[in-house]
């Protein structure tokens, strides 16, 4: 047995890696992107609106230069910003090709954080909305995985995909009605299992990170003006509070690390303050 330091202690550095982070100007992405940069990765942010994404990229890089100076020997990574609707397969393919060309690398870490939630009673859910959310949250997760994996497979390079699911993929939230969001996230969790099995032979690991309630713009939309909603949610969480985005960084770095999670694929890592236990 090799008991050398490197064989025993996992390494969470991401030097030389090119990470693509969708939903790149969103609440969860703001902290995940900083963690990726801090660990040495180059980061390409994708979101719907170019200006917002460019602003997020500027803030990220400024944070990197202010905060990471002297923290590690490697220089602060490159950051880029891209506008793309992940529900549009052609646009996803073109964007991923441009990202790899721009960074002169093949992206080997994908974190799909793009997504949204909306509330309609199931019997009144408009068909166009149902299609829209399934396209973004469900098909979008598939399209970004395809465009990420193709060049890796062609170039025989290993890679890691983390699709952000939700506890809504395995439980039904209460009291807000969100059948299509729940269906989309259940789809993501099983998509991950399918891709993990198909792509293990290419050295591409695929996992889901499923958060519980996090304080971000997504949930603020739901609870703004409805403090009773937040109270109802928190009463059902054993830890009795919503999460902060920073509480997901450890899980992301665990799944992204080749040494810490080399034997983890097809997994749904639920981080929910204990919500699913009750």
Ligand X SMILES: OC[C@@H](O)C(O)[C@H](O)CO
Ligand Y SMILES: NC(=O)c1ccc[n+]([C@@H]2O[C@H](COP(=O)([O-])OP(=O)(O)OC[C@H]3O[C@@H](n4cnc5c(N)ncnc54)[C@H](O)[C@@H]3O)[C@@H](O)[C@H]2O)c1
Any idea which residues carry the catalytic annotation?
Answer: 166, 181, 185
Least separation in angstroms between residue 88's CB and ligand X is 23
User: How far out from the chain centre does Cα 75 lie?
Assistant: 24
214 part of the interface to ligand Y, by CB under 6 A: yes
Residues 158-187 as x/- pattern, contact with ligand X by CB under 6 A? --------xxx----x--x-x--x------
112 part of the interface to ligand X, by CB under 6 A: no
Least separation in angstroms between residue 47's CB and ligand Y is 5
182 part of the interface to ligand Y, by CB under 6 A: no
* Residue 111 β-bridge partners: 21, 162
47 part of the interface to ligand Y, by CB under 6 A: yes
Which C-beta is closer to ligand Y: that of 153 or that of 183? Answer: 183
> What does the CA dihedral 193, 196, 23, 100 come to, rounded to 10 degrees?
-160
Least separation in angstroms between residue 6's CB and ligand Y is 33
212 part of the interface to ligand X, by CB under 6 A: yes
Q: From ligand Y, ligand X, none, which one binds at residue 81 (CB under 5 to 8 Å depending on kind)?
A: none
Q: From ligand Y, ligand X, none, which one binds at residue 26 (CB under 5 to 8 Å depending on kind)?
A: ligand Y
Q: From ligand Y, ligand X, none, which one binds at residue 173 (CB under 5 to 8 Å depending on kind)?
A: ligand X
Residues that bind ligand Y (CB under 6 A): 22-23, 25-29, 47-48, 85-87, 113-116, 136, 140, 164, 166, 211, 213-214, 216-219
């Amino acid at each position: 047995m090799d008991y050398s330091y490197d064989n025993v202690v996992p390494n969470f550095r991401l030097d030389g890696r090119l990470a693509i982070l969708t939903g790149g100007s969103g609440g969860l992405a703001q902290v995940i992107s900083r963690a990726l940069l801090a660990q040495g990765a180059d980061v390409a942010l994708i979101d719907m609106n170019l200006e917002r994404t460019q602003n997020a990229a500027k803030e990220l890089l400024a944070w990197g230069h202010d905060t990471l100076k002297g923290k590690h020997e490697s220089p602060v990574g490159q950051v880029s910003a891209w506008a793309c609707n992940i529900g549009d397969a052609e646009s996803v393919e073109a964007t991923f090709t441009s990202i790899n060309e721009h960074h002169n690398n093949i992206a080997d870490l994908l974190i799909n954080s793009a997504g949204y939630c909306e509330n309609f009673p199931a019997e009144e859910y408009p068909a166009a909305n149902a299609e829209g959310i399934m396209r973004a949250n469900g098909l979008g997760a598939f399209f970004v995985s395809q465009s990420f994996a193709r060049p890796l497979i062609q170039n025989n390079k290993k890679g890691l995909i983390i699709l952000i699911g939700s506890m809504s993929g395995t439980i039904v939230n209460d009291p807000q009605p969100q059948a299509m969001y729940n269906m989309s996230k259940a789809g993501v969790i099983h998509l991950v299992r399918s891709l993990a099995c198909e792509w293990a032979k290419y050295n591409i690991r695929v996992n889901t990170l499923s958060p519980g309630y996090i304080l971000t713009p997504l949930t603020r939309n739901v609870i703004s003006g409805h403090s009773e909603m937040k109270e109802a949610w928190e009463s059902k969480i054993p830890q009795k509070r919503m999460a902060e985005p920073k509480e997901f960084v450890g899980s992301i770095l665990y799944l992204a690390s080749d040494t810490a999670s080399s034997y983890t694929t097809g997994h749904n890592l639920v981080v929910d303050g204990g919500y699913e236990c009750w």
